[in-house]
């Protein structure tokens, strides 16, 4: 084999490095796109995660009372640990009707607390105030507290939970 033929069949250093760089760039782009594509497709491929969670019995909630109840998040991850737990304010009125409200203020998501003497929900972060029915009384919150559906099943009080979607949060 002549020197000219061996030069044509051999890959020179420059073309090798170009091919290596393009290959590594393509592999990197593919690896970066996997979580992005899976995040976009996950809501379409996952089953409905709404679930009724038992938070107590009828006798646990006296008439005209508001209590903090805790339950497992609608879409807990295996690694979530304590963060798989969430909470809601459960109110029972004099007619034995229940209402459940998210614990987070609709302004910036700070946890609201129930002030029994004032019969108001208060947000400590920016002074948001809500009436006992969850509607805005004062401050910066743009809308009422988020409500959960409540039902009574076999004398147990249950709240219908669902995953929170980032697109539903407003600042």
Question: What pLDDT digit, counting tens, does each position of 151-164 carry?
Answer: 988 889 988 887 65
The CA–CA distances, whole Å, from 104 to 59, 68, 97, 161 equal: 26, 12, 22, 15
Judged on CB neighbours under 10 Å (0-12, 13-18, 19+), 31 is exposed
The CA–CA distances, whole Å, from 89 to 99, 147, 165 equal: 8, 9, 20
pTM of the model: 0.65
- Greatest alpha-carbon pair distance for the chain in Å reads 101
Written as six digits, the tokens of 113 are 């607390």
- Taking the CB of residue 54, how many other CB atoms lie within 10 A of it? 13
For residue 165, what pLDDT is reported?
Answer: 45
96-136 pLDDT, tens per residue? Answer: 789 999 888 988 888 999 998 999 999 988 889 999 899 99
């Amino acid at each position: 084999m002549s020197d000219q033929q061996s030069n044509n069949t051999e890959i020179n250093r420059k073309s090798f490095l170009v091919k290596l760089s393009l290959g590594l760039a393509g592999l990197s782009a593919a690896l970066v796109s996997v979580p992005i594509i899976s995040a976009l497709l996950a809501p379409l491929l996952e089953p409905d995660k709404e679930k009724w969670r038992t938070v107590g019995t009828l006798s646990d909630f006296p008439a005209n009372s508001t209590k903090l109840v805790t339950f497992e998040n609608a879409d807990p991850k295996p690694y979530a640990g304590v963060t798989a737990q969430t909470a809601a304010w459960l109110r029972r009125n004099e007619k034995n009707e229940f209402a459940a409200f998210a614990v987070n203020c609709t302004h910036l998501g700070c946890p609201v607390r129930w002030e029994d003497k004032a019969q108001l929900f208060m947000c400590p972060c920016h002074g948001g105030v809500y009436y006992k029915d969850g509607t805005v009384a004062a401050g910066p919150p743009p809308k009422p507290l988020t409500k959960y559906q409540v039902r009574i099943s076999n004398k147990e009080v249950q709240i219908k939970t669902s995953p929170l979607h980032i697109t539903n949060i407003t600042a």
